[in-house]
Amino acid sequence: MSELYNLTIREAQQALATGELTSVALTEALLKRITALEPQLQVFLTTTGEEALAAAQTADATRTATSGPLHGIPLAIKDVICTAGVRTTCGSAILENFVPPYNATVVERLQAAGTVSLGKVNCDEFAMGSSTENSAFQVTRNPWDTERVPGGSSGGSAAAVAAGMALASLGTDTGGSIRQPAALCGVSGLKPTYGRVSRFGLVAYGSSLDQIGPFAWTAADIALVLQAIAGHDPRDGTSATVPVPDYQAGLTGDLRGLRVGVPREYFVEGMEPGVEQATREAIAVLRDQGAEVIELSLPHTKYALPTYYIVAPAEASANLARYDGVRYGPREAGTSMWQEIELTRGRRFGAEVRRRIMLGTYVLSAGYYDAYYKRAQQVRTLIKRDFEQAFAQVDLLATPTSPTVAFKVGQKLDDPLTMYLSDVCTLPINLAGVPGLVVPCGFSEDLPVGLQLIGRPFEEATLLRAGDAYQQVTAWHTHRPALVS
C-alpha cells in the first residue's frame, strides 16, 4: 500500500473493508500530514483532531460487511458550510468567532454516511475570489509550487486533497470556485447542477448561482461523495425533486456513441499555449476512446463575464446586508447604532467583499436597475439558450478550465479585472445552472492543467462516466506534488 495520505477513496475503502487498514490509522496519518504541512500551505482554519479520532473510532467499531463506501473516510469542509459546534468563519473577520448551532444538510448526509471530518479549510472571504488570497486569516499556497495560488474561492478544499491532507473535501462553486482550483491543483472537482445538492446551511454569496460540490483525486471518488450528498431537501426551496441515479453503475469506461462538443469561444485570446495543448490532447483521448468530437459555437459566451459581475454582486449585496454586528459576529464600538453598523461593516469586510457589495448595490439602485441588472438577466437567458441548443447536438462539452496555470501569489491581487478573467471559462456554467466536472489532463511548465466537461442539467452521471473513462486510460490523476513533510 502507498502512503496512506496518497490513497484514493476507493483504495482506502478496499483496505478498510478487508481489515488491512483502520479508520483510526488513516485519520492519524492525515492529521500528522496536516500538522507537518500546515506551516507551508496554510490550508486549515480549524482542525478538529479530537473529534475526528472519536468519529474514526466509532467508524471502526460500527463497520459491517454492508457499510457504505464512505464509512470511515476522512475529509475536509470549506469554511462557508455550517458545522454544528465548529467555527464557521467564511474567511471573514466579520464572522471570526461564529459557531453555528446546526449542520448544513450536506454535513448531515456525510455524517450519516460515516465520514470523518478533519476540520474547516480556508477560502476567499464569503467565496469571493479566484486565488484564496482574500481570506481575512491566511493565504493558502498551491501544493505544486508554494509560491503560487491554489485558485479560489475553494482553494483550501483543492489544496487539502492535492497535498494529501484529506481524501476528499467539499467546496462551493458560484462562478468556477470548485473547477478552477481543481484544475490549478491537479485534482478532480465537480459543480453539480443547480438544485442537485442542498444549499441549506451554506452561507450564501449568490443565491441563484451557489452550489456545493466535491473534490477528490478521481471521478470515481467524486461519484461516491456526490451519491451521499445529492438529493432533494425540503429545507431548501431551490432543491430539485429530480431522482438521484446510481453514479457508480454509470462508470462503464465506455465512451462509444458519446457526442462531445468543443465550443470555439472557450479557447480565449491570451490562453497559455501549454494549457490549450493539454486540453486539446485530452479531447483527442476522448475521441480515441470512441467519442464523436464536434466543433460548435456558444455565441453569447463573450457576455458571460460582464453578466456574472452584475448578477453575482447584486445577489451578494442583498445576502450580505445581514452582517451588521447586531445579531452575530463581532461589533465595532460607535456613538450610535448606525455608526456601529458602518464601522463594523467597513472594518470587518475585506476589500474584495466591499467592492462587490458596492457594485451590487449600484446595479440594483432605482436609477440603474433596468440598465444593468434587468439587462444582465436577459443576457443570462441567452447564455442558457446557447447551452440548450448545444445539447440538442451533443451529450457534453469539453473545454479548458482556466486560461492559465496557477499564477504567483500577489501577481493579480491589485488588478481585479485580470483576476476576474481567471474564471472566464467557468462563469457561463453557473449562469446556465448546468453541471461541470474537471479532471487533471496534463502539465504546463510543471504545473497542473484541468479539462472541463460540461453536461445537461442533472446529467452528472454522463460527466462522471466520461471523466472516469478518461482516467482509466491516462495517469494524470496519479501524479502527486513533491511535498516534504
384 is known as an active-site residue: no
* Residue of 92, 117, 177, 402 marked active site: 177
Give CA separation, 112 vs 59, 78, 119, 394, in Å.
11, 19, 17, 37
Residue at grid coordinates 471502526: 60
* Residue of 23, 78, 191, 422 marked active site: 78
CA dist 461 and 455 (Å) reads: 9
* CA distance from start to end of the chain: 19
User: How would you write the chain as a 3-class SS string?
Assistant: CCCHHHCCHHHHHHHHHHCCCCHHHHHHHHHHHHHHHHHHHCCEEEECHHHHHHHHHHHHHHCCCCCCCCCCCEEEEECCECECCECCCCCCHHHCCCCCCCCCHHHHHHHHCCCEEEEEECCCHHHCCCCCCCCCCCCCCECCECCECCCCCCHHHHHHHHCCCCCEEEEECCCCCCHHHHHHHCCEEEECCCCCECCCCECCCCCCCCCEEEEECCHHHHHHHHHHHECCCCCCCCCCCCCCCCCHHHCCCCCCCCEEEEEHHHCCCCCCHHHHHHHHHHHHHHHHCCCEEEEECCHHHHHHHHHHHHHHHHHHHHHHHHCCCCCCCCCCCCCCHHHHHHHHHHHHCCHHHHHHHHHHHHHHCCCCHHHHHHHHHHHHHHHHHHHHHHCCCCCEEEEECCCCCCCECCCCCCCHHHHHHHHCCCHHHHHHCCCEEEEEEEEECCEEEEEEEEECCCCHHHHHHHHHHHHHCCCHHHCCCCCCC
78 is known as an active-site residue: yes
2 is known as an active-site residue: no
CA dist 157 and 177 (Å) reads: 10
* Residue of 23, 117, 153, 154 marked active site: 153
Active site residues: 78, 153, 177
